[in-house]
Structure 1
Amino acid sequence: MNDRNRNASTFLANAGWGPASRVFLAGDASDRRYERLHLASKTAVLMDAPPGKGDDPRDFIAIAAHLNALGLSAPRILAKNLQHGFLLIEDLGDDLFARLVEKDPSQEAELYAAATDVLLHLQSNPAPQGLANLRAEDWAEAASFGLTWYRFAIAGDAGDTAKFSETLTQALQTHADGPRVLILRDYHAENLLWLPERAGIARVGLLDFQLGQMGQPAYDLVSLLQDARRDVSPQTEAAMIARFQAASNTQNFDAAYATIGAQRALRILGIFARLCLVAGKAQYVPLIPRVWRQLQRNLAHPALADLAEICALWLPEPSAGALERIRAQCGTNQTR
């Protein structure tokens, strides 16, 4: 037993869950991992977030408290050891939106309508104090991963990152730089659970929100509808955009949606390439073509003509050969 497992066992024993059986539940793009615990008729989830790896369980606790205070369904905190990065949290079950829609596509409209209503409710309430609130320049810099990692992995250089950031900054300032709201950032079908025994917006269980910050109203809706892991039907995407826009009474929303969609797709292209090159996680490479298609749809908006031009100049298409070049470098750039 390594030190991490030993510390986890001690934490669970102190929380009264020492005899529980432990089954791996999930991991993600970060260093966090989750285990489901079974103790007699009870279940819970162990969140293992190693200290110093980027995610602080304190952030999960703070955002969860805010969400639950709004009548939403974030996991309750059952026990914590912040020194070692362990949380014992409520088990919200296995009915992820992604699984339910895969089994029965007819559920997509109902589930996504509920998820859209959660965003509308969340954004209609004040956000917690003290959250990061990035400038347009910061959002553009984050999207430069599309050059510094995605392009680099294929072409061997990062291209003109200064001109790229300048162009995207201008687009964000023009079309998507208004009043900020709380965004959860990873708001998609693999982080949402269906809880039909609850009522209204509480039927949507929320996960992976610890990086919540201040951001643009369109951001989480883009995350939901332009999912890097699955295709949302065009009909559902159009209906949810209309639902969100009508309820929030936002102006020029189509340009904001396309701009945030382009920013997010550019960043994800870079993140997926980096996860392969640095962390050796090749499983993200097959997702790149879907994100590329989403990027192209966003760039087709007339408001993004300048950004489309610079992306066409510097971003190589994810051809079969390009994807193979990324795979061939998996785990080889750990010091870059």
Structure 2
Amino acid sequence: MPPIADRHQALHRFVADHLPAGTFRIVPASADLGYRSYWRVHATGQPSRIVMDAPPDKVECGPFLRVAGLLRTAGLNVPEILAEDLDQGFLLMSDLGERTCLETIQAGADPAPHIAAAIVELVRLQRMAPPDWLPPYGRALLEQELDLFPDWYLARHCGVTLDGADRAAWQDARERLVSAALAQPQVLVHRDYMLRNLMPPVGSADVPGVLDFQDACVGPIAYDPLSLVKDAFASWPAAAVEDWLRSYHAQARAGRLPVPEWEPFRRDVDWIGIQRHLKVIGVFTRVNYRDGKPKYLTDTPRFFRYLFEVLPVYPELAGLEQLLRRYAPADAA
């Protein structure tokens, strides 16, 4: 990858080549957990635009472009691709707004209308027939994600290598969680459907904008509803979470999605949540040590609390719960 200064110059030239003549300025918009960064372009007399910077030696733009086209065809509010340079890893896109739904709520807005709107759009997303090229959320990926927890949180952060009874408990829980995920009805999954990746409607739009969808796949139907109500960056009262899940379940049934009856669905939510929370703890630990992004590690207690809310309900996962309680942060109880 070229030096940062050279890359910024290349980004500036890319924008200049695809905007009408005139002055513009480029300011940071956001960055994700990986290698992508996003920049907002302000040009005189024109709507703002977003540039994705995805270094081609680190990430590919192809999945983002393909999934964006898929979701747009289905009527979802996703960024419009205005120009691209795949060799350099730049995309010029429409701007869906400066404040995410999460930021809007953190500024004092009621979360309920935002989550209600997100549920409606999620059902629309899940009703799409997944194309053949969309990858499966299969055993290999589920296991790879789960292994981030012992590899990064336990081994790197805690200095613990599992052996004996602890290793047996982990392997048993790992197999149970993967099997449960694979047994769920399979639909199109966003894989990070939460308020940080949703935008309040702006302009002529009347539905939330959807971002960060490049990792979409075909996987467990309960994954995205769980991600929405057990957010990575905000926690809600248990009663509200239950109400939102019941709302999703009713709408999914009305939309003829292959969602099971309430009780097995509620179990599916819990079990895929355990998988996701363990994965996210591993991811947040990895970006701390590998990428020098420590702020995410401070959010890991939230995920341990999520885990301890549900693990006592399932005695078959008692070994996992005991393991986690020994190595959880002190403020996760």
What is the TM-score with the length of structure 2 in the denominator? 0.88
Q: Please give the residue correspondences for 1:159-174 in structure 2 after superposition, counting only pairs within 5 Å.
A: 159-160=162-163, 164-174=170-180
Root-mean-square deviation (CA), in Å? 2.2
Indicate the SS of the match to 1:190: helix
> Of 230, 234, 242, which residue of structure 2 is paired with 1:238?
242
Which amino acid is 1:130 matched to? W
Q: Tell me by how many angstroms 1:246 deviates.
A: 1.6
Tell me, in whole angstroms, the C-alpha distance in 2 between the residues paired with 1:177 and 1:285: 31
- Structure 2 counterpart of 1:256, which letter? D
Which amino acid letter does the alignment assign opposite residue 35 of structure 1? Answer: W
Task: State yes or no: 1:35 paired with 2:8.
Answer: no
Judge conservation of contact 1:21–1:39 (CA < 8 Å) in 2. Answer: yes
Alignment of 1:109-124 (within 5 A): 109-124=112-127
Distance 1:67 1:214, change over 3 A: same
2:279 matched residue in structure 1: 267
Aligned to 2:145: 142
Q: Which amino acid aligns with 1:168?
A: R
Equivalent positions of 1:169-188 (< 5 A) are 169-174=175-180, 177-188=183-194
Deviations for 1:10-67, whole angstroms, at most 9, x for unmatched residues? 21122126732111111121111111101112210111000121x3211111111111
CA distance in 2, matches of 1:165, 1:14: 53
2:293 is the alignment partner of 1:306: no
Amino acid at match of 1:207: L
Residue of structure 2 in register with 1:287 after alignment: 299
Q: 2:196 aligns with which of 190, 199, 215?
A: 190
Does the 8 Å CA contact 2:84/2:91 hold for their aligned counterparts?
Answer: yes
| CA distance in structure 2 between the partners assigned to 1:16 and 1:197 by the alignment | 21
Residue type of the alignment partner of 1:230: A
- State the partner residue of 2:53: 48
What does 1:16-165 align with in structure 2 at a 5 Å threshold?
16=19, 19-42=23-46, 43-53=48-58, 55-105=59-109, 107-136=110-139, 138-160=141-163, 164-165=170-171
User: In the comparison of the two structures, how many residue pairs are matched?
Assistant: 315
| TM score, norm. by length of structure 1 | 0.87
CA distance in 2, matches of 1:14, 1:240: 46
Runs (4+) of structure 1 exceeding 4 A deviation are 160-163, 196-199
CA contact (8 A) 1:131 1:214 kept: yes
Q: Percent of pairs identical after alignment?
A: 29
- Runs of at least 5 residues in structure 2 that lack an aligned partner in the other structure: 254-258
